[in-house]
Every structure is written in structure tokens, then in C-alpha cells.
Amino acid sequence: MTNITAEEVKKRLDAGEQIHLLDVREPHENAEFNIGGILFPLGKIQSMQIEDIEDLRNKEVICYCRSGNRSGIAAMVLEQLGFINTKNLEGGMLGWQEKYK
């Protein structure tokens, strides 16, 4: 697992690059603000209920949460489950909103 900055993700999104974003927050957090990622709460990852994202196993997956803590855990767990290229969005949605209000 490596970290990725909000600036790098925004630049790639603005360029139209198709990237795989995984929002590991809870549904109510996602409803408040999101950047288009697949909603997949950390609890599902920790309980290894990953069938719905199995097709991302060999792709870059950028995890994000509110502050970067849960997404860091999610990225590490996914890596342990065989995902080959997981990244954690530094600062999460708090950092994103601070930069891109």
C-alpha cells in the first residue's frame, strides 16, 4: 500500500482518466459528500465480503474515507487479501474538501 495525494487524484480525474475509487466510509457519510467512488464500507472489507470488488484485484484501487485512517486500514487489508495495487488517499475527504471547496 502506498499513499496518494488529493492533488494527484484530482489531476487524474480532471484528465478523464478512469480510476477505481473505493469509498470505505458509511452510507450516511457518502451521502453527505463523495467524489464518485464505489461505496464499500470498511466493515465489509474486514469481514472479507469482497465478492463485489473481486474484479479490481489486479487493478489500481484508491481507497478513501473521512480522514485517511480507515482507508489506510482498508488498503492494507485488501493487500493482504491479494489486491496488487492499493493506495490510500492522504487526508481523506476532509483534506479533499479543504483543497477543493
DSSP string, the chain: -EEE-HHHHHHHHHTT---EEEE-S-HHHHHH---SPEE--HHHHHTT--GGGGGGTTSEEEEE-SSSHHHHHHHHHHHHTT-SEEEEETTHHHHHHHH--
Q: Is 63 a catalytic residue?
A: no
Choice among 24, 65, 75, 77 that is catalytic: 65
Task: Give the residue numbers annotated as catalytic, written as ranges.
Answer: 65
